[in-house]
Amino acid sequence: MRGFSQSIAFLRESPTRRIDAIRERLKREKRDIINLSAGQPGIPPPIEVRSLLAKQLVEDNSMELYGYTPSQGIIELREAVSEDLKRLGGIDVNPDNIVIITGGQEGMFATFMTILNPGDEVILLDPTYFGYKPIIEYFGGKIKRLGLSMENGFKIDIEKLKELITDKTKALVLVSPDNPTGNIIDRDTAKAIADLAVDKDFWIVSDEAYRTLIYEGEHTYIYRYAPDHVISINTFSKDPGIPGWRLGFIYGPSDAIPKLKLAAEEMTYCPPVIAQKFVAAYLRSEVRLKHLKYIIEEYRSRRDAAVKALREYLPESRFVVPRGSMFIFVDLSHYIRDSERFAEALLERYGVTVIPGTYFSDIYRSAIRISFVVESIERIRMGIERISNAINDLRGSL
């Protein structure tokens, strides 16, 4: 019988894709849309590295830039990543423990494909990145939520976490710097979680997509504290800023690596060679730290402008100033109730895209996620002013 898989029903279109589709339609209607939704950098990768690649494209007539690579990734990139983790994080990760992947999404899918059996429990924080739920459910995992409180700076309560752990707990997903809150897990909390993972023997799936985008404080590499229990998922989408090129890396203990590599190989055979060569050159180039400093300063000033505008235009909004990532998670419960309906009306009538809090949380249903990396300072201010106008107009009805 022609027909379809039953499990595929667990997969749903990414909610940001729905916002994207409405935005595309409005753009075709020549509407001016302010993008405060996308987790996509507004700054392209450094021209020095792009020029190197351009030269090789024209001058090299071998298959070097076009051929398949080992499925684990080319050795020069795995070595460059290992050096980068040592330089920025002070951790030792052997290039053999690194698998280059076709973007963070493949890293997430490969990780749960590798570790989950039907009935396993996975603990997700609330709020957290919405990409995990469909993958975990697709592989038959059961989700348990650990609610975080904005008042408490989204800090993880270790005692509450302990209460959720059973003999079926397979993994805990941490996102730090966080999407959507911009929060960073501090060293002591990371250490306590790592100890718990070792003691109770579960995986920490550590999503470190934003590890280099830190505005205050520093990134905690939790692998340091529980190297046999951490699978770390990383991407080059945010830095050097090639989200559409699909490249990232994962690292973890030696017994997990061959399985993660096989899962990725079965899905995509090998990661894109042109992106691998590009990032290997970037990580080892002199411009790497300079570019990082530049984007951090740029995004920090945009964040500050967004915070200022929020305080000015939406004085009753509540948020924790993000110390990393690309987002501010703004609770609008003083003004509105239903963030999904608000986000749609905001886009259709006021031309501003944001992501509703319901996509990240069962608790913060009146929150929105604002991205501060796509638009200029001027347009971020304008976008937040439009949000304020929308609230004034729609207040009674939402």
Cα separation, 387 vs 255, whole angstroms: 49
Site for a second copy in 150-189 (CB under 8 A): 167, 169-170
Among 19, 89, 106, 190, binds a second copy (CB under 8 A): 106
* 199 vs 312 by CB, closer to a second copy: 199
Contact status: 331 vs a second copy (CB under 8 A): no
Q: What is the DSSP letter of 170?
A: E
Binding window for a second copy (CB under 8 A); candidates: 76-84, 90-98, 104-112, 154-162: 104-112
Q: What does the DSSP assignment read for 100-160? A: EESSHHHHHHHHHHHH--TT-EEEEEES--TTHHHHHHHTT-EEEEEE--TTTTT---HHH
Residue 156's nearest CA partner among 169, 175, 171, 170 is 175
Cα separation, 202 vs 363, whole angstroms: 26
Contact status: 20 vs a second copy (CB under 8 A): yes
Site for a second copy in 33-62 (CB under 8 A): 38, 40-42, 44-45, 47, 50-51, 53-55, 57-58, 61-62
* 1 vs 151 by CB, closer to a second copy: 1
Site map for a second copy, 226-245, x if CB under 8 A?
--xx-----------xxxxx
Contact status: 256 vs a second copy (CB under 8 A): yes
Among 18, 145, 187, 268, binds a second copy (CB under 8 A): 268
Q: What is the DSSP letter of 320?
A: P
Q: Compute the least distance from the CB of residue 62 to a second copy, in Å.
A: 7
Binding window for a second copy (CB under 8 A); candidates: 81-89, 92-100, 131-139, 311-319: 131-139
Site for a second copy in 269-288 (CB under 8 A): 269-275
Q: What values do phi and psi take at 314, rounded to 5?
A: -130, 65
Burial of 389 (0-12, 13-18, 19+ CB in 10 A): middle
* 1 vs 30 by CB, closer to a second copy: 1
The single residue listed with the structure tokens 């590295």 is 49
User: Count of CB atoms within 10 A of residue 348's CB?
Assistant: 12
Q: Compute the least distance from the CB of residue 9 to a second copy, in Å.
A: 9
Contact status: 252 vs a second copy (CB under 8 A): no
Cα separation, 273 vs 281, whole angstroms: 12
Q: Compute the least distance from the CB of residue 150 to a second copy, in Å.
A: 29
* 119 vs 153 by CB, closer to a second copy: 119
Q: In the numeric block, which tokens belong to residue 216?
A: 């205050």
Binding window for a second copy (CB under 8 A); candidates: 26-34, 259-267, 349-357, 382-390: 259-267
Site for a second copy in 184-223 (CB under 8 A): 201-203
Q: What does the DSSP assignment read for 149-199? A: -TTTTT---HHHHHHH--TTEEEEEEESS-TTT-----HHHHHHHHHHHHH
Dmax over CA atoms of the chain, in Å, equals: 65
The radius of gyration of the chain's CA atoms, rounded to the nearest angstrom, is 21
* 33 vs 116 by CB, closer to a second copy: 116
Binding window for a second copy (CB under 8 A); candidates: 109-117, 151-159, 297-305, 338-346: 109-117
Strands 142-147 and 121-126: parallel
